[in-house]
Amino acid sequence: MHSKVFIDTNVLVDIFDQKRVFHKYSLDVIQTCFENEQIDLFINSDTLSNIFYIMRNHMKLSFDNALEKLEFISSSFVVVYGDAHYFAATLDICKRHIFKDFEDGLQYISALRSECTLIVTNNPKDFKNSSIDVVTSKELSEFWGRLA
């Protein structure tokens, strides 16, 4: 059982936007993790600003509604704040083409430095070079459903 799970930004977007394909699965994964007190959920601090932007500009939420959702996220997840070393490590893996997207690289480094053993993302191709296990919310939801 994974006790430290890193949640990609797209999974959080999924839980707030019912129109997204993975909404049901992402919501199920987050709820299951919340119910299991042995699982800590991690996000990168950049996720907070990215999700606020998405909620305001793409989902058209009000400023106050978006802030309310950010409060929920920041109080429910372990927020990993990167320092110069995180950025240097991310630049390194991007320069070496291990990761082709800086944001994904930063999330990976945050998961690695937080000793997470699982990354939940709905874009697994973005983490194809990860040394950490990667799973989609659909795969994890269906796996847990078979265990129940």
Whether 1 has a pLDDT exceeding 70, the answer reads no
Model's pTM, two decimal places? 0.94
Sheet containing 40-44: give its strands across: 78-80, 40-44, 4-7, 118-120, 133-135
Tens-digit pLDDT profile for residues 50-96: 999 999 999 999 999 999 999 999 999 999 998 999 999 999 999 99
Q: Which of 80, 141, 72 is nearest to 116 (CA)?
A: 80
Domains of the chain are: 4-142 (3.40.50.1010)
